[in-house]
Amino acid sequence: MKAEFRNHGILKLFLVAIFLFLNNNVGLAQRKSWTDAEFKTALKNAYEKFKDYKEGANANYIPELDKVDPELFGLAIVTTDGKIFTEGNISTEVSIQSISKVFTMAKVIEDSGSDEILEKVGVDATGMVFNSIIAIELNQGKEINPLVNPGAIATTSLINGDTYEEKWNLIKTTFDDFAGRKLNIDQPVYESEAATNQRNQAIAMLLNAYERMYFDPAEATDIYTKQCAIAVNVKDLATMASTFANGGTNPVTKKKVVSYQTVAHVIPVMATAGLYDDSGQWIYNVGLPGKSGVGGGIIAFYPGQFGIAVISPRLDAAGNSVRAQESIKNIVAELGSNPFYVQPRK
Ligand code: GLU
Cβ of 200 closer than 6 Å to ligand 1, yes or no, is yes
The CATH number assigned to the domain holding 170 equals: 3.40.710.10
Within a domain: 340: no
Q: Given this model, what pLDDT does residue 20 score?
A: 42
Q: Residue 294, exposed/middle/buried by CB under 10 A (0-12, 13-18, 19+)? A: buried
Q: Given this model, what pLDDT does residue 345 score?
A: 87
Cβ of 189 closer than 6 Å to ligand 1, yes or no, is no
Which atom of ligand 1 is nearest to 99's Cα? 8
Cβ of 130 closer than 6 Å to ligand 1, yes or no, is yes
Q: How confident is the model at residue 15 (pLDDT cuts 50, 70, 90)?
A: very low
Alpha carbons 276 and 282: distance in angstroms, whole number = 10
Q: At what angle do helices 260-273 and 234-245 cross, to 10 degrees?
A: 120
CB atoms within 10 A of CB 341: 14
User: DSSP strand E in 26-83: where?
Assistant: 74-79
Could you tell me if 68 and 58 are in contact, meaning their C-beta atoms sit under 8 angstroms apart?
yes
Q: Given this model, what pLDDT does residue 116 score?
A: 97
Mean pLDDT of the chain: 92
Within a domain: 63: yes
Q: Which domain holds residue 234?
A: 2-335
Task: Say which residue, 163 or 13, is predicted with more confidence.
Answer: 163
Q: How confident is the model at residue 2 (pLDDT cuts 50, 70, 90)?
A: very low
The angle formed by the CA atoms of residues 201, 205 and 207, to the nearest 5 degrees, is 115
Cβ of 228 closer than 6 Å to ligand 1, yes or no, is yes
Cβ of 293 closer than 6 Å to ligand 1, yes or no, is yes
Within a domain: 344: no
Cβ of 232 closer than 6 Å to ligand 1, yes or no, is no
* 17 pLDDT more than 80: no
Compute, in angstroms, the gap from residue 52 CA to the centroid of ligand 1. 26
Could you tell me if 210 and 140 are in contact, meaning their C-beta atoms sit under 8 angstroms apart?
yes
Alpha carbons 303 and 263: distance in angstroms, whole number = 9
* 73 pLDDT more than 60: yes
Cβ of 224 closer than 6 Å to ligand 1, yes or no, is no
The two beta strands, 297-302 and 290-292, are: antiparallel
Residue type, 243: T
Q: Given this model, what pLDDT does residue 331 score?
A: 98
Within a domain: 223: yes
Within a domain: 134: yes
Within a domain: 346: no
The answer to whether the pTM exceeds 0.75 is: yes
Cβ of 98 closer than 6 Å to ligand 1, yes or no, is yes
Q: Over the stretch 24-38, which tens digit does the pLDDT of each residue have?
A: 444 455 677 999 999
Alpha carbons 266 and 175: distance in angstroms, whole number = 15
Q: How confident is the model at residue 302 (pLDDT cuts 50, 70, 90)?
A: very high
Compute, in angstroms, the gap from residue 344 CA to the centroid of ligand 1. 42
Per-position b or e across 248-285, b if 16+ CB within 10 A of its CB: bbbbbbeeebbeeebbebbbebbbbbbbbbbbeebbee
For a pocket test of ligand 1, which of 228, 276, 299 has the largest count of ligand atoms closer than 8 A to its C-beta?
Answer: 228
CB atoms within 10 A of CB 60: 12
For a pocket test of ligand 1, which of 128, 130, 199 has the largest count of ligand atoms closer than 8 A to its C-beta?
Answer: 130
Alpha carbons 28 and 312: distance in angstroms, whole number = 28
Q: Given this model, what pLDDT does residue 277 score?
A: 87
* 317 pLDDT more than 70: yes
Within a domain: 49: yes
Within a domain: 345: no
SS (H, E, C) 166-225: HHHHHHHHHHHHHHCCCCEECHHHHHHHHHHCHHHHHHHHHHHHCCCCCCCHHHHHHHHH
For a pocket test of ligand 1, which of 193, 221, 278, 292 has the largest count of ligand atoms closer than 8 A to its C-beta?
Answer: 193
Please tell me the least confidently modeled range out of 20-24, 236-240, 245-249. Answer: 20-24
First to last CA, the chain: 41
Q: How confident is the model at residue 346 (pLDDT cuts 50, 70, 90)?
A: confident
* 55 pLDDT more than 70: yes
Compute, in angstroms, the gap from residue 97 CA to the centroid of ligand 1. 5
Residue type, 319: G
Which atom of ligand 1 is nearest to 152's Cα? 4
Count structural domains, the chain.
1
Task: Say which residue, 29 or 285, is predicted with more confidence.
Answer: 285
Q: Over the stretch 203-216, which tens digit does the pLDDT of each residue have?
A: 999 999 999 999 99
Average pLDDT for 54-67: 95
Q: Given this model, what pLDDT does residue 23 score?
A: 45
Q: Given this model, what pLDDT does residue 30 score?
A: 66
Quote the percentage of the chain above a pLDDT of 70.
91
* 51 pLDDT more than 50: yes
* 141 pLDDT more than 50: yes
Compute, in angstroms, the gap from residue 250 CA to the centroid of ligand 1. 25
Q: Over the stretch 116-126, which tens digit does the pLDDT of each residue have?
A: 999 999 999 88
Cβ of 151 closer than 6 Å to ligand 1, yes or no, is no
Q: Given this model, what pLDDT does residue 9 score?
A: 52
Alpha carbons 323 and 247: distance in angstroms, whole number = 28
Q: Is 87 helix (H, G, I), strand (E, B) or coil?
A: strand
